[in-house]
Amino acid sequence: MSVLVSGGAGYIGSVTAEMLLGAGRRVVVVDNLTRGHRSAVPEGAAFVEADVRDSARLEAILGEHGVECVMHFSASSLVGESMTDPGEYFGNNVVGVIRLLEAMHTQGVRDFIFSSTAATYGEPPEVPIPEDAPVRPTNPYGESKATAERILRWYETIHGFRFAALRYFNAAGASRDHGEDHDPETHLIPLALSAAAGERESLAIFGRDYPTPDGTCVRDYIHVQDLADAHILALGKLGETKENAFNLGNGEGYSVLEVLSAVERVTGKQVPAVDAPRRPGDPARLVASSARAKKILGWRPKRVTLDEIVRDAWAWKQRFPEGYGD
Ligand code: UFG
């Protein structure tokens, strides 16, 4: 089976492509390289530099590579950025998904694994969050992904698509060869590691007045290889279940301050930190109930402690101090 991985030159896409190849699948990576890195595309995967919004190009790639399933990672995915540039988020994440689905429909490809997000829930009434919690995003990023999920349901009803929408909580960690390299970097763990390494003066703590035990935001950090595993399991289960939204998290919430402590334990270095105002669009607490993914997909996250996750991110950073170097 040949799998098209859109965004396979990015963080979660490249790790999943690597694991798909390890599981014996053929992989074609499609990435426009605006945020991805050519050298992140795993060896053994075919690579095409293209944008998912280019339907004609996508149709040709689907046909030429005999694609049977699409895993769609390419998207704009920063909560903060979405609060200043909503057009980018609706254009890339909503228009992008429609163009891709249309190209698939034309080519008769109907299996789709979608990178969705915890940001679809907004400020949840209860944590851990089950999949049937209200979808009330507090930022355009979450709104764009929630909209794409609704669009997918119509392609399922009308065109017979089979899909899984995997709602990631906070992806972190690395495989041996693939890790997190964003420009600009905005995520907490890589920024804290970089501050610990002395590459930046300090880390800004965005808000200390949230309704959480220590006043900083709480998130559920999940290892990127565990996320990749879930994609492979979801692919194997397509069409077997009526459920198609799955939360992927560890079910444990850690505050910003707890993450900084973990980074200090793992690196043995101090993280210089300064207080800063809240970042617009940030919900106070996002923690997953992943009971559905465990029950239906048979998903078992393997690297569950915050220290293990941070250790792998730190190991990758030490192996590749310049990231992918492009
Ligand atoms: N934070 C800081 N300082 C920083 C960076 C982040 O205090 O310099 C805080 C944020 O305010 C937030 C937490 O650390 O409370 C985590 O922030 P990240 O930017 O690492 O991640 P987000 O929670 O904003 O978003 C991530 C992904 C989204 C996904 C979301 C789901 O980027 O795509 O997790 O929980 F939707």
Closest atom of ligand 1 to 286 CA is 35
39 vs 26: CA distance, rounded Å: 18
Closest atom of ligand 1 to 256 CA is 14
Query: In this structure, are 203 and 143 located in the same domain?
Result: no
Query: In this structure, are 22 and 114 located in the same domain?
Result: yes
Residue 229 in contact with residue 223, Cβ under 8 Å?
no
**pLDDT tens per residue across span 227-243:** 999 999 999 999 998 89
Predicted model pTM: 0.97
Query: In this structure, are 197 and 280 located in the same domain?
Result: yes
Paired residues of 204 in beta bridges: 274
115 vs 57: CA distance, rounded Å: 22
- Domain presence at residue 292: no
Query: In this structure, are 228 and 122 located in the same domain?
Result: yes
Average pLDDT, the chain: 97
Residue whose CA lies nearest to ligand 1 atom number 26: 170
- CATH label of the domain that carries residue 195: 3.90.25.10
Q: Is 141 a catalytic residue?
A: yes
Residue whose CA lies nearest to ligand 1 atom number 32: 78
Is the pLDDT at 1 greater than 90, yes or no? no
Q: Which residues line ligand 1 (CB under 6 A)?
A: 77-79, 117-119, 169-170, 186-188, 191, 203-206, 217, 219, 256, 279, 282, 286
299 vs 21: CA distance, rounded Å: 19
**pLDDT tens per residue across span 266-310:** 999 999 999 999 999 999 999 999 999 999 999 999 999 999 999
- Measured in Å, residue 189 CA sits from the centre of ligand 1 at 9
If one counts every other C-beta atom within 10 angstroms of the C-beta of residue 146, the result is 22
- Measured in Å, residue 59 CA sits from the centre of ligand 1 at 35
pLDDT score of 326: 81
Residue whose CA lies nearest to ligand 1 atom number 34: 170
**pLDDT tens per residue across span 42-100:** 999 999 999 999 999 999 999 999 999 999 999 999 999 999 999 999 999 999 999 99
Query: In this structure, are 205 and 239 located in the same domain?
Result: no
Residue 179 in contact with residue 153, Cβ under 8 Å?
no
**pLDDT tens per residue across span 160-194:** 999 999 999 999 999 999 999 999 999 999 999 99
- Domain presence at residue 109: yes
- Measured in Å, residue 114 CA sits from the centre of ligand 1 at 20
Residues 6+ apart with CB under 8 A from 183: 35
Query: In this structure, are 89 and 235 located in the same domain?
Result: yes
Q: Tokens 């239906």 — which residue?
A: 296
Torsion, Cα 155 158 163 168, to 10 degrees, reads 40
- CATH label of the domain that carries residue 231: 3.40.50.720
Residue 167 lies in domain: 2-171+222-248
pLDDT score of 277: 98
> In the chain, how many domains are there?
2
- Measured in Å, residue 188 CA sits from the centre of ligand 1 at 6
Largest CA distance in the chain: 55
Q: Which of these is catalytic: 11, 89, 121, 141?
A: 141
- Measured in Å, residue 108 CA sits from the centre of ligand 1 at 37
Retrieve residue 155's tokens.
Answer: 């392609």
Q: Are β-strands 273-276 and 203-206 bridged in parallel, bridged antiparallel, or unpaired? A: parallel
- Domain presence at residue 183: no
Residue whose CA lies nearest to ligand 1 atom number 14: 188
Q: Tokens 């800063």 — which residue?
A: 276
